[in-house]
Amino acid sequence: MFDIFSQRLQQKYRTLDFPNKQPNLSARYLGRPEILHDDCGDCHACMDACPTAAIRLLSASNPGPRQEQKGPALDMGRCLFCGACAKACEQKNGTSKIRFTQDYHVAAFAREDLIITAKAHTPAVPPRNIFGKSFKLREISAGGCNACEADTNVLGTLVYDLGKFGISFVASPRHADGIVLTGPVTRNMREAVIATWEAVPEPRLAIAVGSCAISGGLFATSDECLNGLDGLCDVQLYVPGCPPNPWSILDGLLRLKG
Amino acid sequence: MHFSHASSVAIHALPCLDFASLRNDVLVQLASGWRVIAFFALPRSLFTEQELHECPADAKHGLCCILAREKNLWAVRCAPLHAFQSFSPEYPQFQRFEREILESYAIESTGHPWPKPVRFIDPASGGPRPGPAQCDYFQVNGGQIHEVAVGPVHAGIIEPGHFRFQCYGENVLNLEISLGFQHRGLEKLLRDGPHLRDVALTECIAGDTSIGHATAYCVLQERLTNTAPPIRAKLLRRIALECERLANHTGDLGAIAGDTGFLPTSSWNGRIRGDFLNLTATICGNRFGRTLLCPGGVNHSFERHDCETFLPRLEAAWADVSGAVDIMFASPSVLDRLTGTGKVSANLANELGMVGVAARACGLAMDARHQAPIDDLPMHDVNIRTASGGDVLGRATVRRLELADSVTLIRADIESLASMTDADGEWKTDIPAQLPSHSLAVAQVEGWRGELCHVAVTDGAGKFAAYKIYDASWHNWSGLEMALRGEQISDFPLCNKSFNLSYCGHDL
C-alpha cells in the first residue's frame, strides 16, 4: 500500500489546464495549412504529390467554395497532413506557397470550411448548444484503422480528462446525445452505423473524426468503402487529420459544446 | 525451393508442382518444424505456357505456399486449379488461409472442416454477398445452454467485430469470432503498384502498427530491388519500431490493470503510452509515425541535438512506466486475477500457428527480430522473452520484459545516431523506379503484437500482381477463441485486452 502511495507521488499531477494553457506539440507537427499565394501559373507540383487528391487548382470554370478563381484549394477533409505538397512546391519553386502551421485548431462546423484557399474567410459558427453541461457520445468505428480511435480514446486519460468538461463516451447509443464516427464506413459496417445512429434519441449530433470519416480519405477510391459519414446523416462537426491530434478533437468537441 | 528470408527470388524459379506433389512436400516440411507464413492465390498470368499445359483452362488462379523456419524460407507454386485437398484437418494453422482462398479466389479446399467466409465480401465464386457475420455458428444444444451475441458495435471506443459465446451459466463452452466489418479492400488498392499513396495505405493497415507495416512495405521494395537503406535510416526505423512497441505494451498493461480493477496503473499507463507516442512525434511530427518511412530510407533527419533532447524524455517515460508496472506486478490481487486466466497451451499455440507476444507467453521462442531480421543492427544482448503459463499473466509478463528490451535498443541506437554525421550516409538511398519483373519477396517484421508478414509478387512490367498482408492478428484471433474455452464469460474483456488483436489488420 505504501509503495502505491509513493508511486502516486512519483507519477505527479499531469492534467493540462486546457484551454487556459496550451499543449506542447512536437516542433515537427503539421497543423492547419495556409496557402500563401495563388499565383501558381501552370504549376501543379502540389497536386501531383498529394496521395489523396486533396488539392485542386482553381479556375473560372472550377471555382473554390468562396468563388476563388485561382491558386490551389486544399481540402483538409481529404488531407493526411503529410506535407508532401509543401515539399513539392518548395522543390519546384524555391519557396512553398503552402505552409503547414503548428495550429491544431483544425475542426470545422461546415464541410466547405475545411477547404483552404489563399483567401481568408470567416468559418461557420457551431450550432446552438442544446445539451448544456452534459454531452454524451457514442463512438462508432467503421473501417477506422485504430489510430483515430486511439486518439479519441486517449481523451479519457488524465492528461486530457475529458470528463471534467462534462463530455463522456457512453456504451449505449440510447444514452447518447450524438455519435462520433471514425473510418471511411465500410460496406460491411453501413447497416450497423445506420442502426446505431437511429438508436440515438433526437435531438442528436453527428461528428466525423479523421479524413476517412470526412471524405473516405485514402479509401475514397475503394469499392468497399462509402466515403465517410456525409450522406448517411447530417454532420455537425468535422475534425480532419490522419489521425487528428487529440487536442484537435478536444478543441472541436469543446467548441461544439459551447 | 529454399531461400534466405532477406533475398528476393524469380517467381519462375519456384517449382510449379501439381497439388498432390505440393501437398507431399509441404507435409514433409511441416513435420520438420516449418510453419506457414503465407498461402495465397497467384493470377494465371504469372504462369508460363508450359506450366499451364495440364491445368483446367477456366481456372483463374494457382497457389503459392511459403513456409518459414528460423532465417530460411521455402516456397512452392501450384498451377491454376479449382480445388485442392485441405491441410486444415491435420494442420489447423492453415484454416484461415484456406477460407480466404475460397472466399477471394474461388478455389475450394476439399475436406476443410468449416470453410465459412473470412471477411463476408462478394464471393469470388459469384453469387450474392452474404451480410456481414451472416453465417451458421457453432452451437451447443441443451436446455440450460444459452448464447450471448456481442457486436459489431462494442461498448468502448474499439473496432467492430461479432462474438458468439455458447454458455452454460457463466461458463463459456465455445467462443466464435466473426470478423470482416473493417474490410476496406486495401490489398486491392495496392495491386498494380507501387503507387504514390502506398506507404500511407500501409501505415493504415493497422493504425497502431503504422511503423511495423510501413517498414514491411519499404523492406519489401528494398529486397526486390536489392537496395540497402543507409545506416542512419536503419537506426531511426528501429527507434520508431521500438517506440511503437513501448507505447502499445504500456497501453496494454494499463488496460489489463484496468480490467483487473487495479486503477493506479490503468490510469498512469494511459498517460505514459501518450508520452511514447509523443516521442515518435518528435521524430516525424505524427504520434503514430506516419510519414516517417519511405522505400530506401526515412523522410526525416534526426541529428545529434534531436538525439540529445530525445533521450531524457525516453528516460523519464521509462522511469514512469517501470514504476507503474512494478506496482501492478507487486499486487497479490492482480497476480491472482491474471494467473491461469485465458490459458493457451504451447502445443495448441503451435498448432494454430500463433505468433508474437501471445505465442511467447506460451513458451514458444518466436521473434522475427531474431529469426528474420530486417537489418544488420546489433541486438545488444536482447534475447527472445518467453513465459510459460500461456495465460493473461504470461502475456502481461512478456510485455513487461519487452518494455525494458525496447528501451535498451533505443538507447543504443540513439547513441549510435548521435555519433554520426552526414559523412556516415544520407537518410535515404534512391531505389530504382522500376521493380524487377516476375519476382517474389517476403518481409517479416516483428511488430508489437507479433510477426507481420508482407509478400509481393511482381508481374512482367514490375507491378504488384499480388500483394499479401498478414498481420499477427491473422494467426492469433483463433488463439483468443481457444483461450476462452472453459473460462467465465466475465473473463472475456481481460483475455481480449491481453491479446489486443487488430480488427482492420485482419479484415484489411
B431: closest CA of chain A, how far (Å): 18
Contact A212, A143 (CB under 8 A): yes
pLDDT tens digits along A125-139: 998 878 888 999 999
**Model pLDDT, residue A132:** 83
CA-nearest residue to B275 within chain A is A159
**Model pLDDT, residue B338:** 97
Contacts B149 to A, Cβ<8 Å: none
CA-nearest residue to B507 within chain A is A143
* Residue B157 to residue A153, Cβ atoms within 8 A: yes
CA neighbor of B314 nearest in space, from B175, B394, B418, B165 = B418
**Model pLDDT, residue A6:** 92
**Model pLDDT, residue A221:** 96
- Alpha-carbon gap, residue A206 to A180, rounded angstroms: 6
Residue among A140, A223, A246 minimizing CB distance to B153: A140
CA-nearest residue to B129 within chain A is A188
Best mutation site among A146, A154, A179 for testing chain B: the one with the most B CBs within 10 Å?
A146
Mean pLDDT of B280-293: 97
Contacts B323 to A, Cβ<8 Å: 7, 10-11
CA-nearest residue to B501 within chain A is A146
Contacts B503 to A, Cβ<8 Å: 146
B40 pLDDT band, cuts 50/70/90, is very high
**Model pLDDT, residue B490:** 94
Contact A72, A54 (CB under 8 A): no
pLDDT tens digits along B41-71: 999 999 999 999 888 999 999 999 999 998 8
CA-nearest residue to A193 within chain B is B153
% of chain A at pLDDT higher than 90: 89
Residue A41 in this model has a pLDDT that exceeds 90: no
Q: Which three cell numbers stand for residue B244?
A: 511503437
- Alpha-carbon gap, residue B233 to B239, rounded angstroms: 10
pLDDT tens digits along A172-195: 999 999 999 999 999 999 999 999
Q: Which residues pair with B454 in a beta bridge?
A: B443, B469
Residue among B156, B201, B504 minimizing CB distance to A146: B504
Mean pLDDT of A72-86: 96
Contact B23, B94 (CB under 8 A): no
Q: What is the mean pLDDT of chain B?
A: 96
* Residue B200 to residue A159, Cβ atoms within 8 A: no
Contacts B159 to A, Cβ<8 Å: 141, 144, 146, 149
β pairing state of A237-239 and A98-100: unpaired
Contacts B264 to A, Cβ<8 Å: 4, 7-8
A91: closest CA of chain B, how far (Å): 15
pLDDT tens digits along A11-20: 999 999 999 9
**Model pLDDT, residue A133:** 87
* Residue A188 to residue B132, Cβ atoms within 8 A: yes
* Residue B264 to residue A188, Cβ atoms within 8 A: no
**Model pLDDT, residue B13:** 94
B184: closest CA of chain A, how far (Å): 5
Residue B424 in this model has a pLDDT that exceeds 90: no
CA-nearest residue to B180 within chain A is A188
pLDDT tens digits along A231-256: 899 999 999 999 999 999 999 999 99
Mean pLDDT of B418-432: 92
Residue B414 in this model has a pLDDT that exceeds 90: yes
* Residue A3 to residue B267, Cβ atoms within 8 A: no
B211 pLDDT band, cuts 50/70/90, is very high
Measured in degrees and rounded to the nearest 5, phi and psi for residue A169 equal -95, 130
Contacts B271 to A, Cβ<8 Å: 14, 157-159
B38 pLDDT band, cuts 50/70/90, is very high
- Touching check for A152 and chain B: CB below 8 Å? yes
pLDDT tens digits along B71-85: 899 999 999 999 999
A241: closest CA of chain B, how far (Å): 10
- Alpha-carbon gap, residue A194 to A204, rounded angstroms: 13
B178 pLDDT band, cuts 50/70/90, is very high
Residue among A3, A143, A151 minimizing CB distance to B184: A143
Q: How many CB atoms lie within 10 A of CB B411?
A: 17
Q: Which contacts (CB < 8 Å, 24+ apart) does range B149-156 have?
A: B152/A189, B152/A192, B152/B181, B153/A140, B153/A192, B153/A196, B155/A171, B155/A172, B156/A139, B156/A153, B156/A169, B156/A171
Residue B481 in this model has a pLDDT that exceeds 90: yes
Residue given cell 499531477 in the structure block: A13
